[in-house]
Each structure stands twice: as C-alpha cells, then as structure tokens.
Amino acid sequence: MRLDRRVILALDVTDTERARSLARSVRGEVDAIKVNWPLVLAGGLGIVRELSAAAYVLCDFKIADIPNTNRLIIEQAVAADAGGVICHGFAGEDSVRACVEAAGRAEVFVLTEMSHPGGAQFTAPHADEIARIAVRTGAAGIVAPATRPERVKVLREIVGPKLILAPGVGAQGGKASDAIRAGADAVIVGRSIYEALDPAAAARQVAAEIRAATPGR
Ligand code: O7M
C-alpha cells in the first residue's frame, strides 16, 4: 500500500451506486478504500473488482477461521483484485499464516485490538501477542485502535517497521493526529467522510490534520 495522504476510506455503505460515487469523489484524497461486509453482501464481490480498477482496495473480511477456510476466502479476494485483506489474529498463528501464504502479492493486515469499548474486553489483553504473530507470519501490518493511542504506541514497539492502520477516528471519538503521533502510518475513517456533505473535503481535512501533526514528513 502506498501511503501519501495516510487516510483510508471505510466505504461502509450498502447502496452500490452511492459506493461508486463516493469512491469517485475521494479519488486522489485517500490512499485506499476499505470494503467491508455491508457493501460486499449488498453488491457482491464484483464491487471489489470494479473499485480495484481505480483504487487500492482493502478487503476487510476480518477473516477468523481455520487455515483451510481462511485460504479459500483469501483466494476469492485476490481473484477480485484486492490489494490487501484483513484477518483477525485471535484465531491463532496457523490461521494468520494461511492468510499470508494464500495472499501472494496481496498484503495481509492483522487486526490486533479493536477500537470499540468491547475491544478492551477480549482483544486488548491479547493484542501484543497478536502483533507478534503478525511479525512472525510476515504480514504487511496490523490494525490498531485510534481510540487508544497509548496502545498504538505499545504495538508500534512490537511490530517495528510494519504498517499500522488505525480505525476509530471521528465517529468513535479518536483523533487522527493522536493516532499518527502515537505511531500509526494511516487512519481508517468511515462515517466522518462518507456522511459528510462534501466527502472529498472531509478526507482532505483529515489528511491536513495529519500533515500538521507530522511536520517535515
Ligand atoms: O469511522 P467509522 O467508525 O465510521 O468506521 C470505522 C471502520 O473501521 C469500520 O469499517 C469498522 O469496521 C472498522 N474498524 C473499526 O472501527 N474498529 C476496529 O477495531 C477495526 C476496524 C477495522 O477496520 O478492522 C479491520
């Protein structure tokens, strides 16, 4: 994933026409488009292939199954031209390894600790261990909570130069600049961009906040 704006749009809409139009309007303002179950269930995997023609598409399937099933899911995402795929880490090292092996040139990001309050219940106590799994399996990076920048800092120490993508900005209360200062490479933003009257301007604003927080980068 090439990071320039350091912003990834979470395209969590179920109207495929709106999804296409949003993707067009933020072109050049975000580095990637994250597609999650709501859009794929509504529009089919074809929407991933379609959006991939003009953007890096990150398939957020939060894959968390046995290795063989994970491989089958990843193969579908790769066949639809996804640039990256997200898996959960809690299913264990063999499950994550199966994703990385099946992904080939596509990048795998491992979800460590979730950003919502419930994420502190089960994922947070194991996040450091999951981050180490991401390193050992050769994943491209991890997903870590922008709502807990202090945790991003700790996870950065564990993953070294691997990419950290941080969701939870805006609607969930996290601040892009805090997440980036704590060590995230990019933020994942959904509602604050796609519900804005001018989504491109909203994306630009997040990128500007990030630039202001990291002078000289
Ligand atoms: O900005 P929002 O809150 O509207 O959307 C955030 C997006 O990030 C949404 O697509 C979530 O599914 C996703 N996300 C989280 O909000 N928290 C997490 O812990 C993990 C993710 C995610 O992207 O997982 C890979």
pLDDT digits (tens, 9 = 90+) for 51-97: 999 999 999 999 999 999 999 999 999 999 999 999 999 999 999 99
Residue 139: pLDDT above 90?
Answer: yes
Percent of the chain residues past pLDDT 90, beyond the cut: 99
Percent of the chain residues past pLDDT 70, beyond the cut: 99
Taking CA atoms only, the protein residue closest to ligand 1 atom 2 is 190
The residue-averaged pLDDT of 125-153 equals: 98
Give the residue from 178, 157, 158, 160 showing the smallest Cα distance to 169: 178
Confidence band of 215 (pLDDT split at 50, 70, 90): confident
Q: Please give the C-alpha separations between residue 159 and each of 164, 181, 193, in angstroms, as whole numbers.
A: 8, 16, 29
Query: Residues 106-128: pLDDT tens digits?
Result: 999 999 999 999 999 999 999 99
Q: Which residue has the tokens 């070294």?
A: 160
Average pLDDT across the chain, whole number:
97
Q: Is 172 in the pocket of ligand 1 (CB under 6 A)?
A: yes
User: Which are the contacts of 127, defined by CB distance < 8 A and separation ≥ 6?
Assistant: 112, 113, 144, 151, 155
Tell me what pLDDT residue 143 has. 98
Taking CA atoms only, the protein residue closest to ligand 1 atom 22 is 167
Taking CA atoms only, the protein residue closest to ligand 1 atom 12 is 36
Atom of ligand 1 nearest to the CA of 109: 25
Tell me what pLDDT residue 141 has. 98
Query: Residues 20-32: pLDDT tens digits?
Result: 999 999 999 999 9
Question: Do the beta carbons of residue 155 and residue 115 sit within 8 Å?
Answer: no
Q: Which tokens in the block code for residue 113?
A: 């600790």
Spatial separation of the C-alpha atoms in residues 67 and 188, rounded to whole Å: 27
CA of 167 to the centre of ligand 1 (A): 5
Residue 217: pLDDT above 90?
Answer: no
Q: Is 128 in the pocket of ligand 1 (CB under 6 A)?
A: no
Residue 175 annotated in active site: no
Question: Do the beta carbons of residue 49 and residue 74 sit within 8 Å?
Answer: no
Q: Is 189 in the pocket of ligand 1 (CB under 6 A)?
A: yes
The residue-averaged pLDDT of 46-50 equals: 97
Tell me what pLDDT residue 48 has. 98
Of 41, 57, 60, the one to substitute when testing ligand 1's pocket (max ligand atoms within 8 A of C-beta) is 60
Query: Residues 164-182: pLDDT tens digits?
Result: 999 999 999 999 999 999 9
